[in-house]
Amino acid sequence: GQNIDQPTEMTATEGAIVQINCTYQTSGFNGLFWYQQHAGEAPTFLSYNVLDGLEEKGRFSSFLSRSKGYSYLLLKELQMKDSASYLCAVIHKAAGNKLTFGGGTRVLVKP
């Protein structure tokens, strides 16, 4: 199966930190992406993890544990413009390297 679970919605305060968790089950893991999507707009690439560990890119970091089928996206020093949906997506090797998206986590940043 190819299940990807992430929380539906999270609220945080400007300047704070928010961690968005993603768990997955796949028949052959070949990488995990995080995308940001503002309402009505195209998803834009944030990060890619294929090996265990933390990838840091400015205010955003992404962590992967393949043995646990778990990833998180960490957003630091939140800004109002970070209010968006964050999509976890997994590449399934057994499915021809198909990229499957989770339902997305809507993050609302409050002043």
Partner 1 sequence: DSGVTQTPKHLITATGQRVTLRCSPRSGDLSVYWYQQSLDQGLQFLIQYYNGEERAKGNILERFSAQQFPDLHSELNLSSLELGDSALYFCASSVEAGGGELFFGEGSRLTVL
Q: Which residues make up the interface to partner 1 (CB under 8 A)? A: 30-31, 33, 40-45, 48, 87, 89, 91, 93, 95-104
User: CB 98 → partner 1: shortest distance, Å?
Assistant: 5
13 or 25: CB nearest partner 1 = 25
Q: Are strands 9-13 and 60-65 parallel, antiparallel or unpaired?
A: unpaired
Of 101, 77, 104, 80, the C-alpha closest to 91 is 101
61 or 105: CB nearest partner 1 = 105
Locus of tokens 């300047």: 15
User: CB 45 → partner 1: shortest distance, Å?
Assistant: 5
Locus of tokens 């707009």: 41
DSSP state of 6: -
User: CB 80 → partner 1: shortest distance, Å?
Assistant: 21
13 or 44: CB nearest partner 1 = 44
Residues 75/20, Cβ–Cβ less than 8 Å:
yes
